Amino acid sequence: MKMRSIPVLVAGGGASGMVAAIEAAKLGANVTVIEKKNKPGKKILATGNGRCNFTNRNQEISCYHSSDDTLVQMVLQRFDHQKVIDYFWESGVMSKERDGYYYPLSGQAASVRAMLEREMDRYKVEVHCDETLQRIIPRKDLSGQNITGYEVQTDRDKYLVRKLILAVGGSAAPAQGTTGDGYRMLQELGVAIVPPLPALTSIELDDACCKLWSGVRIMGQVELWCEGSRLAEDIGEIQMVAKGISGIPVFQISGRVSRLLYQGKEPYLKLDVMPDHTKEQVMDELLRRVNTYGVGRSLGDVLDGMLPDKLAKALLQALHKSPGDGAEILQEDRWRNDLADQIKGKKLHIRKVSDFDKAQVTTGGVALSELQADTLELIKYPGIYVTGELADVDGICGGYNLQWAWSSGHLAGQSAACALKTKIRSRS
């Protein structure tokens, strides 16, 4: 049976894959998308808690993690956040902005997916769902030196492809179909892969306090430390869970924790549960309360109104005290200092970063040194383009990972279609 010939095949119907397909088709390419799930764009529905925070006004390069800031910046500038907003508006999705975060005016992530589906239909992109990419085989000319295309094998068919856009995602959220297949296939071709690790996820701790504080939510600051140096920090609502710590501030540093643990290092966290107060202010307040409440009051009485009960119990446990113990010890400088240390910088020993099934994105992926900066084409394999989470680029919370998906998909789609046209002209 003769293989079907396809000018542009997009593997993966997520955010970057859908935009890549639309852009290639806009420039006249015949485009086919294969998608593992039963419908494209499913992962989009989960973004922003179903509201789809699709970009952010603040586009500092520090919001992205990669091995090549220059390449990332070049790609982002080609199709920046304002162009994304305009692109969505022109295609039917109006936006609303809150503190620099952009969402669909409808408040529904489904609006974004529906818009991308309409655009693919408008430009006659052929979509095959429930079809999984399995293998990529380079095809060469008679000399055996030059790649002329690729045999792409799926679980349903084989295709002869001239331009292949890999938008299969990373390893995070495997329930959405992103199970790291792209890394395996490219490694088989000899492409360098930065080890993929979980990011934007919770951190599990090796600390008995977790059983006591489960369910607490508090505004706090978390710092990442390793080998005596503070490496990162973030502030916001922190969620205490039965096995550790969660919330956006924790998510923001989790990818870096993953990398440090992978490198065999021993990072740890410091937690400040009263970030708006200095340590001296906390100590003064503890003493004021003891003196005001009078003799016979408990530590729980003193901490009531300062900290949630569960959190107070967890912090006191580290001092081998309980809320029912007498508060008179706080009249001593040593005890006030020790309790203030727990409130302002409790040291937390990390057991692990939560697995990919709980992670929002992957840190790591195709090494950026393997890619042409102006096209996102693999240097070793002309005609294969890498987009989205498959590349070694990940962003913090706030619409950055979707911005990278839009930008990289837009560039890869246009590059593939333009290269196809150039090849056709050179033959005529």
pLDDT on residue 46:
87
The model's pLDDT over 318-367, given as tens digits with 9 standing for 90+, comes to 999 999 999 999 999 999 999 999 999 999 999 999 999 999 999 999 99
d(CA 260, CA 225): 10
More confident residue, 85 or 208: 85
* Percent of residues, the chain, with pLDDT higher than 90: 92
When computed from its CA atoms, the radius of gyration of the chain, rounded to whole angstroms, is 26
The model's pLDDT over 104-121, given as tens digits with 9 standing for 90+, comes to 999 999 999 999 999 999
The sign of the CA dihedral 211, 212, 216, 221 is negative
d(CA 350, CA 203): 7
Asked if pLDDT for residue 299 goes beyond 50, the answer is: yes
d(CA 254, CA 277): 25
Are 260 and 197 in contact by the 8 Å Cβ rule? The answer is no
d(CA 56, CA 41): 20
pLDDT on residue 423:
63
Residue labelled with tokens 């010939």: 5
Tell me the mean pLDDT in the region 374-381: 97
66 alpha carbon, distance to own chain's centre: 12
pLDDT on residue 26:
98
Kindly state the tokens that stand for 256. 């870096």
Tell me the mean pLDDT in the region 145-163: 95
The model's pLDDT over 383-425, given as tens digits with 9 standing for 90+, comes to 999 999 999 999 999 999 999 999 999 999 999 999 998 765 5
Give ∠ CA 339-342-345 in degrees, rounded to 5.
140
Are 172 and 360 in contact by the 8 Å Cβ rule? The answer is yes
pLDDT on residue 253:
97
pLDDT on residue 428:
45
pLDDT band at 245 (very low <50, low <70, confident <90, very high): very high
**Ordered alpha helix ranges (H), 318-390:** 333-345
Residues 6+ apart with CB under 8 A from 137: 150, 151, 152, 153
Tell me the mean pLDDT in the region 131-156: 93
Asked if pLDDT for residue 301 goes beyond 70, the answer is: yes
Asked if pLDDT for residue 197 goes beyond 70, the answer is: yes
pLDDT on residue 295:
78
Asked if pLDDT for residue 1 goes beyond 90, the answer is: no
Tell me the mean pLDDT in the region 199-218: 94
Tell me the mean pLDDT in the region 17-28: 98
Mean pLDDT across the chain: 95
155 alpha carbon, distance to own chain's centre: 28
d(CA 116, CA 10): 14
Asked if pLDDT for residue 234 goes beyond 70, the answer is: yes
The model's pLDDT over 25-57, given as tens digits with 9 standing for 90+, comes to 999 999 999 999 999 999 999 888 889 999 999
The sign of the CA dihedral 18, 20, 22, 24 is negative
